[in-house]
């Protein structure tokens, strides 16, 4: 088992689908200078990969029923909330 922290840069405005090691624990959602919106996850690199969907929602918008809350990002006048949906 090899545990470490990986960063995923979110390039799609509403979210995106990515492969992560199974069981990834999502830790933080923030803007990174010159990196845009990013999410960090604690992963076990020995685990097989699974697809997850990152979903970003504004305050007052509907959120996914099966979504796992990751964090909230303050971005100027906008407030964004990140959820992860697993298969």
- For 32-81, the pLDDT digits (tens) are 887 789 999 999 999 999 999 999 999 999 998 999 999 999 988 989 99
The boundaries of the domain holding residue 10 are: 3-85
According to the model, what pLDDT value does residue 11 have? 83
Are 59 and 73 in contact by the 8 Å Cβ rule? The answer is no
- For the chain, how many structural domains are there in total? 1
pTM: 0.88
**pLDDT at residue 84 above 70?**
yes
Q: Provide φ and ψ at 31, rounded to 5°.
A: -80, 140
1 pLDDT band, cuts 50/70/90, is low
């Amino acid at each position: 088992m090899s545990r470490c922290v990986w960063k995923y840069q979110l390039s799609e405005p509403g979210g995106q689908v990515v492969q992560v090691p199974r069981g990834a624990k999502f830790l933080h959602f923030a803007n990174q200078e010159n990196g845009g919106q990013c999410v960090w996850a604690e992963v076990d690199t020995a685990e097989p990969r699974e697809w997850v969907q990152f979903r970003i929602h504004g305050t007052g918008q509907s959120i996914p029923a099966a979504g796992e809350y990751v964090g909230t990002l303050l971005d100027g006048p906008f407030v964004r909330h990140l959820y992860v949906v697993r298969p």
